[in-house]
Chain A
Amino acid sequence: MAGERRHKGMRLSKLYSFKCLKPFSKEDHSQIGSRGYSRVVFCNDPDNPEALQLNYRGNYVSTTKYTAANFIPKSLFEQFRRVANIYFLVVAFVSFSPLAPYTAPSVLAPLLFVIGATMVKEGVEDLRRRRQDIEANNRRVLVLSKNGEFSKTKWKNLRVGDLVKVHKDEYFPADLLLLSSSYEDGVCYVETMNLDGETNLKLKHALEITSVEESSIKNFRGGVIKCEDPNEHLYSFVGTLHYQGQQYPLSPQQMLLRDSKLRNTDFIVGVVVFTGHDTKVMQNATDPPSKRSKIERKMDKIVYILFSILIVIAFTGSVFFGIITRRDVTDDGKKMRRWYLRPDRTTVFYEPRRAVLASFFHFLTALMLYGYLIPISLYVSIEVVKVLQSIFINQDQEMYHEETDRPARARTSNLNEELGQVDTILSDKTGTLTCNSMEFVKCSISGTAYGRGMTEVELALRKQKGMSMRPQDDEIKANPTKSVKGFNFWDERVVDGQWINQPNAELIQKFFRVLAICHTAIPDVDGESGEISYEAESPDEAAFVIASRELGFEFFARSQTHISLHEIDHVSGEKVDRVYELLHVLEFSSSRKRMSVIVRNPENRLLLLSKGADSVMFERLAKHGRQFERETKEHIKRYAEAGLRTLVIAYREVDEEEYRIWEEEFLNAKTLVTEDRDALIDAAADKIEKDLILLGSTAVEDKLQKGVPDCIEKLSQAGVKIWVLTGDKTETAINIGYACSLLREGMEKILITLDSPDIETLEKQGDKDAVAKASFQSIKKQLREGMSQTAAAATTDDSANEKPEMFGLVIDGKSLTFALDKKLEKEFLELASRCGSVICCRSSPKQKALVTRLVKTGTGRTTLAIGDGANDVGMLQEADIGVGISGAEGMQAVMASDFAIAQFRFLERLLLVHGHWCYRRIAMMICYFFYKNLTFGFTLFWYEAYASFSGKPAYNDWYMSCYNVFFTSLPVIALGVFDQDVSARLCLKYPLLYQEGVQNILFSWERILGWMLNGIISSMIIFFLTINTLASQAFRKDGQVVDYSVLGVTMYSCVVWTVNCQMAISINYFTWIQHCFIWGSIGVWYLFLVIYGSLPPTFSTTAYQVFVETSAPSPICWLTLVLVTFSALLPYFTYRAFQIKFRPMYHDIIVEQRRTERFESGTRTASAVSGELPVQVEFTLHHLKANLSRRDSWN
């Protein structure tokens, strides 16, 4: 069939050796039809009665949490999972009974308000998700209809078995089985960025039997796919196609997954296998683990404390109540003590003869009465505040990335304050610290180093030698005619065709030809401008093709068998087209670490062009090919030091005979369908990749992202530890570590590795147990050594506290496996925590997550993981906070993250400014909440003591129910949203301020209990001052005396004034909003009093006209108010004054510094500038020294 192809296209499947036609494991396929493998798909026949009977789900996708039907019950259920809310619900129910100290509506109203507000929030969030769903469900795709034509259909109407046609750059609407593509052999390229975050293109390959032309695919009927049931494994698929009496095994190679994108292929035709929620991507869409911040967890504890206080005071009250009530009737039952209560004819709640029962009921009443100790609106206020805080994070212009047009996004608002407490940052390297866009910066050809471009590391070195950076900058700027992405190479000897005049021009030509031919990239010619861009599997490869294009070896076309270049002839200097016949591609794999192509050049000579890692390439050189080996090795070493990735370039000529013999063997291996096929292909490839002639090496820079070193420096000044977990090799990781000032000058490095000769020999012997044992012992020994090293430093060094700065730990992946062993993890963590920086190289995604868990649970401190790729997802989900970089590599990390930023450097602002503020705000807010509720709640308790603990509240019911909602909530929210101790600029200038959060100073138990104590003291001051000034005497000139309603109003006014003024003196930042809310709340209270008091007495009861008629005209009420408010604030104010005097907090000092700065107005600007400059200078020096010492110690 393959030979009869009519249309022109590529037979890429022939070229690739490893990717296509992977052997199938018979085992899996034998399971088809059994449990777990029972899916049957009737291709192009969804209306088949059998298919209808199967009743597979449609392609409608819903990611919403609620539906219209279950919204109310489900969201209510969610609400009442909170202890506090359950308590209030119970209270609300009991309030309908005579037990209630106040009327039921006044209890229900705030609860309904709070629950309602939260439900509205949930609803709005869900509506947003729903809108996204609708958008996805209504996208259109071409489906083969009954009349044999492709017509547009909505995604949601797709059915299993439908034949769909997807065009270039469209998303697949469901999991499809690839039938055919625009390429004649049915291959297509897929971008799976949304699934696994990898940007490279994946090659998918249809079965030969199905890869027919579009016109004939329409007649593709009768095929039946039997395959596995829906599952979440992205990289596995087991199935069989039954077609025309034959069975064809199916593999993941034929699967096109929903949410991945068709690239580089005009169109494909596929059959829908899994739809909607059955698709792999939806099966994978588990809710990310919901994270709660430490503060919130602690808050729960405080709520429990409050519950205990509640129970204790309720119990105390009940005991007294019981005793008093029992005495109301004498034992013989004849005499009544408090006869006016009619204890002889009473209900069970006041029955003196059953005082124990009565006091039990009283206990229930008291639980309700003192319910104001538990802030009902706390949770809802916190949620509101956090959402608003998130909006501020999203709106921050300083965290907006112009190039990618991405602002920061807080994907969850739960963790805002956690951002202010980060102790350890675990960072990915590639794409996070670096841009993950490779730039070709240097090369070494035939022993000569080319490339004048400077890497960041080199720039630092150069500066250290005293040379100015400036001229270099100018040179670089002046010379390249245009800046090209992926290309940062400049050398006057080579660019603009100048290489022709070099003595080794011929080798240079060969070198760049290898780069231009030996790859798997695909050119994409822009029809209008003629510019060529490339689709490559890896950014490195793209950089090579671009480099060769820029230097005159423009790869512009790839066909099935040919690669075409525009070249400059080195003799004539003219541009000519050269076409190379592509015979074989021996692809890159992680075990081979090299890639080769076999081509026939226009001169009809067979060439093997090869590029690969130095470790595998040098051993494959021919004797006569080692001419420049020494120089090249020297250069490679230097490049590695400069933080560059290197590859060795080599070639050889193959004679026809040798090729013929080899090809036969190779093709044999390729067509085998056995388990060891890969090994055989490997071996075959190995046979021809030998006797190579060295051409040189390339050096590609994975550039550090902008501002990374500064950011890391700032964060470490803030006392945050940074661990880098990378998949890179040790050397590269260390280099990057230096480049971004993670490892510094004067740091003692502790390297833990298993690359020791004895273990290698053991490995060669192949005894796995022995290797494991020896490795374990070796790691143990190295950890112990490290410990003693750090311990020694601690004892010898006087300034013992300097020690965390002194060590840098570097550990590789293999060692990490053992270090993470249960037996060693403690020691490992101990050692790591003694080191300032930790770098884990060659770590797998799983190890990243394990390390994160170890740090999180081992130290109990807050960890933040930051990464950009799918390999970081585990880490992001494991850490307390996951920050995704929404950079080059897909959205997978972002989808799993809690916060998404565009660049690593925004982390600085996210933590030091927003984190600090949010932490501070939430901590203060919670403390204040408890304060205000204790203040209020305890006045009730004191009043009880004066009402024989009968459960009579001191205030009118509605005053009380409005307390948390109207009179005190807005200022707290303003505090939670707007308060700043110091401005953003100062937060960044004094990173040490961040330690307030890390050490949890603002939310320590002392502080919380202090605030609670303040609340209790305030309540005592309020109550006792009020009842004593408004005692039994007349309180107005007209001789009237204070009654229940007047005392209630006055005391309540005192509470409202006190808690609001307390807010006013404890916040640091007064904008019009704060003024508005604080004074407004007090105003609302009086407004409420007037309005409520003017309602008919049946509604207002004791509040009827109480303000207007009774208490407002009484001077003593106002004098009491002034006295009480000031007195109640005095303890706090005095404490603060003492604290600032003797034990100021860090932010106090900074605020003062700012003030003194302002006073020194003349020198202010100058000092501000000079105060900031030295930091940078010092840092740069630091950086340089670091690189210098690194050179000495590492290489």
Chain B
Amino acid sequence: MPSNTASSSAAAGSADSSTSRRNSKRPKYSKFTQQELPACKPILTPGWVILTFLVISVIFIPLGVVSLFASQDVVEIVDRYDNDCIPAPARANKVAFIQGAADKTCNRTIVVPKKMKQPIYVYYELENFYQNHRRYVKSRSDAQLRSVKDENQIDACKPEDDVNGKPIVPCGLIAWSLFNDTYVLSKNNQALNVSKKGIAWKSDREHKFGKNVFPKNFQMGNITGGGKLIPDVPLSEQEDLIVWMRTAALPTFRKLYGKIETDLQENDTIHVILKNNYNTYSFDGKKKLVLSTTSWLGGKNDFLGIAYLTVGGICFFLALAFTIMYLVKPRRLGDPTYLSWNRVPGGGR
């Protein structure tokens, strides 16, 4: 628009404007493009702050109480046996004992402290066992577990991949180190049936472990790891293996051993004949036998309830603290004197 086209610009201007009306570059109006969409603009006013804290505490404290009650309902018997099941003379060198050929049978007696309703779950608990070690976790072949066709897919399984060139099924460190302590329970000298059915996840049984995959060359290597498998039972029915192969997340873990489908009364004495086969001694791991009922929340753990109560309590305390603060030292909403740079007009630098 040169400034020197003086009077013609009036004429040209009108022509311009008529054309520009047709294809003007004027941005189209919409609430979106003009950034004027209707919006909720939450502000942390004292009221809202206190209300939020109060609401949280009001929800959390009851939740905590309920969780604690649920946890309290659970009856849990934990029996650590790794130390006791080594005969006293052999305790100086536990590893030698466990690796030796001596009889590993061990008798344990458990007294039921409180009535336990069936089903009662039997777990074994290991501590300081890193099932989540990267080398360990990767050392398996899901393909092989699923179908016979893929039994040669053993790349990930080293060093437990093959024996004399023949693939091990199931291969890998996880399967190789299968837990093999066994418990035989009896109540008041009557055998207590521990059911092994349905201790593994359904999806594992049905989709991850094949119905026609049978153990092959298992534990035939130069070093025997853990438990052995029954050769003519398909993997999908070897639930102990399936449970074991669902790796634990943390170094302390329980795994289902079985279910007791009868109630146990208070002061019932349970006798356990235990085969202490599994070597946790070389890495100082603990072994425990756990009998537990469940509530709707699962097993016994007060942590959730306590955590809920704590957080709820903190929120309640904060609500209180803020209320007092606002009462004692109120700040007028929108009072600009609180600004750090307000005392420096002109944006002092």
Contact = CB atoms under 8 A, between A and B. Distances in A.
Contacts of A1068: 41-42
Contacts of A992: 342, 347
Contacts of A950: 130, 132-136
Interface residues of B, number: 123
Nearest to A1039: B121
B67 interface: yes
Given A400-B26, A802-B345, A1109-B202, A1031 B35 contact: no
A345 B295 contact: no
B335 interface: yes
Interface stretch (A527-535, A617-625, A630-638): A527-535
A1123 B56 CA distance: 10
A396 to B, nearest CB: 7
A452 B254 CA distance: 99
A1025 interface: yes
Contact of B279 (A193, A339, A948, A1114): A339
A995 B341 contact: yes
B143 A1098 contact: yes
A534 B6 contact: yes
B334 interface: yes
Interface in A1051-1084: 1068-1073
A246 interface: no
A1136 interface: yes
Interface stretch (B162-170, B181-189, B227-235, B314-322): B314-322
A63 B1 CA distance: 26
A1106 to B, nearest CB: 9
A407 B249 CA distance: 59
A1149 to B, nearest CB: 5
Looking at chain A, what size class is its interface with the partner chain?
Answer: 35 or more
A1033 B301 contact: yes
A1152 B254 contact: no
A1025 B130 contact: no
Q: Which of B41, B223, B295 gathers most chain A CB within 10 Å?
A: B41
A478 B331 CA distance: 56
Contacts of A673: none
Contacts of B176: 340, 342
Contacts, number: 368
B34 A396 contact: yes
A1072 B282 CA distance: 60
Contact of A888 (B3, B177, B223): B3
Nearest to B249: A1047
A1109 B159 contact: no
Interface stretch (A661-669, A1126-1134, A1180-1188): A1126-1134
B255 to A, nearest CB: 7
A199 B297 contact: no
A204 to B, nearest CB: 18
A1025 B226 CA distance: 33
Interface stretch (B44-52, B79-87, B100-108, B265-273): B44-52
B251 interface: yes
B27 A407 contact: yes
A568 B46 CA distance: 80
Interface stretch (A153-161, A269-277, A330-338, A814-822): A330-338
Interface in B327-349: 331, 333-336, 338-349
Contacts of A1144: 331, 338-339
B146 to A, nearest CB: 7
A341 B259 contact: no
B43 A1151 contact: yes
Contacts of A888: 1-3
B346 to A, nearest CB: 5
Contacts of B3: 199, 436-438, 485-486, 539, 542, 888
B298 A1143 contact: no
A969 to B, nearest CB: 21
Contacts of A406: 25
A386 interface: no
Given A339-B225, A339-B282, A1150 B334 contact: yes
A394 interface: yes
Contacts of A193: 2
Given A405-B25, A542-B6, A1027-B250, A1104 B203 contact: yes
A1072 B343 CA distance: 39
Given A1041-B255, A1097-B208, A529 B11 contact: yes
Interface in A1134-1154: 1134, 1136-1137, 1140-1144, 1146, 1148-1154
A1029 interface: yes
B69 interface: no
A521 B4 contact: yes
A986 to B, nearest CB: 11
B136 A341 contact: yes
B80 to A, nearest CB: 13
B214 interface: no
A1038 B311 CA distance: 29
Given A405-B26, A1039-B259, A392 B279 contact: no
Contacts of A978: 35, 37
A952 B177 contact: no
A340 B39 contact: no
Nearest to A345: B159
A559 B125 CA distance: 110
Interface string B250-261: 111111100100
A1043 B247 contact: yes
Given A405-B26, A1134-B318, A1071 B38 contact: yes
B40 interface: yes
Contacts of B295: 1037
A1043 B299 contact: no
A1116 B304 contact: yes
Given A395-B34, A397-B26, A1070-B40, A1044 B248 contact: yes
B190 interface: no
Given A342-B173, A1043-B246, A948 B133 contact: yes
Given A1027-B250, A1104-B208, A980 B35 contact: yes
18 contacts: A339-B283, A342-B173, A395-B33, A484-B6, A533-B8, A887-B1, A946-B132, A947-B132, A950-B135, A1031-B301, A1034-B121, A1039-B259, A1041-B123, A1042-B248, A1098-B143, A1123-B304, A1141-B326, A1144-B339
Q: Which 9 A-B pairs have the closest CB atoms?
A: A719-B347, A1033-B299, A533-B8, A1153-B334, A1034-B299, A1047-B249, A340-B177, A1039-B121, A345-B159
Interface of B: 1-11, 16, 20, 24-29, 33-46, 49, 52, 56, 60, 63, 67, 76, 95, 119, 121, 123, 125, 129-137, 142-143, 146, 158-160, 173, 176-177, 201-203, 207-208, 223, 225-226, 246-256, 259, 279, 282-283, 292, 294-301, 303-304, 307-308, 311, 314-315, 318, 322, 325-326, 331, 333-336, 338-349
Given A1028-B303, A1116-B304, 9 more contacts: A340-B176, A341-B173, A538-B4, A802-B345, A1034-B121, A1037-B298, A1097-B146, A1123-B304, A1154-B334
